[in-house]
Structure 1
Amino acid sequence: MARGKATGAAGNADKEGKPEKADKAQRGIQSVEVGGRLLAALAAARVPMPLAALAEAAQLAPAQAHAYLVSLTRLGLLKRDHVSGRYEPGPLSLQLGMLRLEQDPAYRAALPRVDALARSSGFSVAISIAGPQGPTIVRYVPASAPLHVNLHVGTVMALAATATGRVYCAFRPPAQWQPLWRAQQPDATEAQLADFGAVLQGIRERGIERSIDTPSPAVSSLSVPVLDAAGALRLVLTLVGSTGAIDVDWNGTAARALMAAAADIAAILSAEGPEEESPA
């Protein structure tokens, strides 16, 4: 019927016949957004926090923050340590974080190739993504033989001291890593920053970086970037082994295998087209 309800652009009109603005803010629940401020404050801090610190960071009165924290804890988004009284991410937060990560095409493509590389090489392999505090391990496949190094999911890699950190810096815009670099090395001079920049240029030219006996004695590693079709860094792959056992030659067996795995992942990303970058 002609008098039926209009659809499409004609349906988005107010009583005066004027079309509604496409960018008109949608109605939300203010209390949910306030609770989100507490979650955001905890995520930014990256350490368990007491009530007072969380309230201050979220710009809430402690009593108001406490009520929200009770509800967030009941939902499983947070949990409270009964000894220290500090709040940390809860099981539901972990599930949501893993769900987000598992939807990332680069991570999905990397999983089988990283597992295969660990089996074929006999060395540990780590996948790192850009996190708020720098490159963060999100997948760690341990070596077949014991390796005395403290690496696990959630480890944030030092920017200057690790091959992973240097690759991260080499393929990220300076504005995204220099503040972290300065925070990790508060006494560094401009000359040292320039020297570090020269190191990064060498990494970009080679497409691979290595660490020998640093930062952990008797442990060496090789790291390579995974870039998408636009040249943006999506992942850092790191092969880790005992010094002397792992071949860290630029053109050695381990380097070629690692670079081949990264190239395979990059090819899949290029075939799938542009995607949203992993969250930083």
Structure 2
Amino acid sequence: MAEKGDDARSSGDIQAVDRTAQILRLFGPETPELTAGEAAERLGLNRTTTYRYCTSLVASGLLERGSAPGSYAPGALLLQLGAFALGRRKVVDLAPSYMRELCSTTGLTTVLSLWGSTGPIVSRVEEDATRTVLVTVRVGTQLSLTAAQSKVFLAHMSDQLRADRLLGSLPAVAREELTEEIRTLAGTDQVAMSPDGFGIHAMAAPVFDEYGICATVALVATDDLLPLDVHGATARHLRNTARALSQAMGGDKDA
């Protein structure tokens, strides 16, 4: 028979797990870093208690020290676990051959992303090793809401209320522009574009299974290698690859 002390410890352990989850859930594209004080304020917790949790999470690898003094960011273990969980999905098993062919045809970095809790997560990357200059993306990276992959996911998201909540976190002008772009993509398998403002372009297309959108395939390169031309040969290669992978997933969708 369990002693009262055992029950108390069990209750405390459950509370610790719950608070850890609450802290980790605060991070996302719009909050890549935050301090223990900011986490405490958002969660309504004691600052000292929250600091102890953050320190313990750094020690475990779930968090790491951020770039700003006193801040924290998702750690390597958290990214590793997230990428592993996403990597178990069927599309990640089927995608590599399609991605390698696309990468070989275009000579550009090819990226497969799956939807996480608040945005796309990079789950696999194929690179053209013959190029002198190579643009790469780290597996486990969570992409911002303005990324080409995010636009595609939001355009085909079945839970419109969830999409609206995510869009609501953006400034008004950016939200309006993104909403209009999403409307043009909805109901199609057309590609989305996104420049990052630093000379890097991305182009993404949806992959469907029998339930709806399950992933995106994207090309990433410097702006001179990847012009943002929706009617160009590169966009056509990307769209055809996404369609072929959709067929393999049992979710072929006509434009």
TM-score, normalised by the number of residues in structure 2: 0.70
Asked if residue 125 in structure 1 is aligned to residue 99 in structure 2, the reply is: no
For 1:229 and 1:164, how far apart are their aligned partners in 2?
Answer: 20
For 1:110 and 1:86, how far apart are their aligned partners in 2?
Answer: 37
1:228 corresponds in structure 2 to 209
1:42·1:88 contact (CA, 8 Å) conserved in 2?
A: no
Match of 2:12 among 30, 49, 53: 30
Match of 2:155 among 152, 156, 170: 170
The alignment partner of 1:184 has SS state of: coil
Shift of residue 58, structure 1, vs aligned partner: 3.6
2:143 corresponds in structure 1 to 156
Match of 1:179 among 152, 156, 165: 165
The C-alpha deviation readout for 1:68-97, integer Å capped at 9, x for no partner, is 444434333333469723233333323322
1:123·1:239 contact (CA, 8 Å) conserved in 2?
A: yes
The alignment partner of 2:193 has SS state of: strand
1:124·1:240 contact (CA, 8 Å) conserved in 2?
A: yes
2:73 corresponds in structure 1 to 88
Shift of residue 122, structure 1, vs aligned partner: 0.5
Q: Which runs of 5+ in 2 are unaligned?
A: 1-8
Quick one: percent identity of the two aligned structures? 22
Equivalent AA in structure 1 for residue 162 of structure 2: Q
1:1-280 matches, within 5 Å, as 29-46=11-28, 47-80=32-65, 84-143=69-128, 144-145=130-131, 152-153=138-139, 154=141, 156-159=143-146, 163-173=148-158, 174-187=160-173, 195-196=180-181, 198-201=183-186, 204-205=187-188, 207-211=189-193, 214-216=195-197, 221-230=202-211, 232-241=212-221, 253-270=233-250
The alignment partner of 1:99 has SS state of: helix
For 2:76 and 2:183, how far apart are their aligned partners in 1?
Answer: 43
Equivalent AA in structure 2 for residue 128 of structure 1: S
Shift of residue 238, structure 1, vs aligned partner: 1.4
Q: CA RMSD in A?
A: 3.8
Closer, same or farther in 2 for the Cα pair 1:209/1:99, shift >3 Å? closer
Shift of residue 198, structure 1, vs aligned partner: 4.4
Shift of residue 171, structure 1, vs aligned partner: 1.0
For 1:247 and 1:73, how far apart are their aligned partners in 2?
Answer: 41
The alignment partner of 2:69 has SS state of: coil
For 1:133 and 1:45, how far apart are their aligned partners in 2?
Answer: 9
The alignment partner of 1:45 has SS state of: coil
For 2:71 and 2:33, how far apart are their aligned partners in 1?
Answer: 6
Closer, same or farther in 2 for the Cα pair 1:183/1:68, shift >3 Å? closer
Equivalent AA in structure 2 for residue 226 of structure 1: V
Number of residues of Structure 1 aligned to a counterpart in Structure 2: 237
TM-score, normalised by the number of residues in structure 1: 0.65
The alignment partner of 1:208 has SS state of: coil
For 1:163 and 1:216, how far apart are their aligned partners in 2?
Answer: 13
